[in-house]
Amino acid sequence: MTSKVTYLGDLRTSSIHVQSGSEIISDAPLDNNGKGEAFSPTDTVANALASCMMTVMGIKARDLNVDFTGATAAMTKIMQAEPRRISAIEIVFDMNLATDEKTKTILERTAMTCPVFLSLNTEIEKRISFNWK
């Protein structure tokens, strides 16, 4: 078992990661009868994409002896109404590292191979951009 999810009432859940005990609270968004006081379930899906892409880039950067510390990603989730689902995820990576073009290409291509990217429905548009400093 990976996690245990408990419905807390008021359109809120608690998810406990079994191995670590870490907790994620989710809340229905304001536009879907919720309070919007925490990540919504669809927020966590979109956030998982950014986190996964960053993680695999971090692994590759470590393998290349590149300090990846300080890289950030700004994620925006776009919903469609009928059927209600994620229609697009926009992620803008700000890479706080100076490196050569070859390494940049390797890291960008690595990001596109993360398990979440490869698992999401192909109908979800993924708008990914990289800003290198």
Q: How far apart are CA 69 and CA 71, in angstroms?
A: 6
Helix intervals (H) in 39-120: 41-63, 101-111, 115-119
Residues of the chain whose pLDDT is less than 70? none
Q: What is the pLDDT, as a whole number, of residue 133?
A: 83
Give the helix/strand (H/E) hosting 87.
strand 85-95
Q: Comparing C-alpha atoms, which of 130, 118, 106 is closest to residue 52?
A: 118
17: left (phi over 0), alpha (psi -120 to 50) or beta: beta
Contact 73, 93 (CB under 8 A): yes
pLDDT at residue number 83: 93
Domains of the chain (ranges plus CATH)? 3-32 (no CATH), 41-132 (3.30.300.20)
Question: What is the predicted pLDDT for the residue at 104?
Answer: 96
